[in-house]
Amino acid sequence: MVSIAQGWSGAGHPFRFGVGCRKLGRHISMTTPPALPTAGGCWNHDHVPSLVVPVVAPGQLSGTSQPTLQTGSILLRPWTAKDARAVVAAYQEPEIQRWHARSMTLTEAEQWIVDAGIAWAQESGVSWAVDLEGQLAGRMTLKFYLADAGAGVGYWTRQAARGQGVASQALLVATQWAFDHGIHRVQLEHSTQNPASCRVAAKARFAGEGIRRSAALHADGWHDMHLHGRVNKMQAELESERSPVTTAPGAD
């Protein structure tokens, strides 16, 4: 089986960020002749030089501590061990369980928090606890594909904090942070049966890009998934100056 790069969707399900295997920013198609298999199941082409220089250099992010971000009364901060019980409670809420298709025990939540710190250290992602007036209101996560300067989004908001713009504001500030640190494209997807997540994406200026049919398995069966994306406007403008290709209508 060919390994695929995956991102976190608004519904908590993975989606393909590229086509086929991803190794140091190179595309390897499903029909590429075999090279040397790795333990991860993706063909190893490390011995073949890439013609693409990574936009975000290794160590550029993890060389500093994970940042804390703020917008108004909403605070995005690194997770701590003290958050574990609140995470368990969040995953007991019906809406979060439905769209993220999981629950958590205390032990699992503790490991989930540890894994968030490891992801930052390995530059595979960043996950923030989202506080509103000192209480855990949600989660905002970016999974990185640094060779392609891309990120996939995952988020949830606790029931008591919904309807206050927490998710959309947290998504805006997280996306701007990503753009400020070299990320070129941020994308997310959600079930077409989850209009609340669609509104979050729209408020955060993520353009709808299409439907992936029967793309994610939830507890009640297969769901169509709505894909949204934002492109770093400054980088896109620089690209347009070098290319005669015009930007498609609706591009960010």
114-139 tens-digit pLDDT: 999 999 999 999 999 999 999 999 99
pLDDT of residue 3: 29
Residue 80, domain member (yes or no): yes
- Domain range enclosing 97: 6-54+63-242
In a domain, 144, yes or no: yes
Q: Which residue has the tokens 């069966």?
A: 221
Q: 77 φ, ψ to 5°?
A: -135, 160
Count Cα neighbours of 22 within 13 Å in the Cβ-side half-sphere. Answer: 17
| Cross-strand pairs, 27 | 22
Instruction: Give the model's pLDDT for residue 27.
Output: 33
Structural domain contains residue 252: no
Residue 67: give its domain's CATH number.
3.40.630.30
Q: What backbone torsions phi and psi does residue 78 show, to the nearest 5 degrees?
A: -65, 150
Q: Does a structural domain hold residue 204?
A: yes
pLDDT for residue 234: 62
Q: What is the mean pLDDT of the chain?
A: 81
> Which residue in this structure is represented by tokens 């398995």?
217
**Residue 207: both structure tokens together:** 């353009």
Q: How many domains does the chain have?
A: 1
223 membership: H or E segment, kind and range: strand 221-231
Residue 233: predicted pLDDT: 81
Alpha-carbon torsion, ordered 210, 214, 216, 222, to 10 deg: 140
Predicted confidence (pLDDT) per residue in 29-38, tens digit:
333 344 444 4
Residue 248 covered by a domain = no
Does residue 82 have a pLDDT over 80?
yes
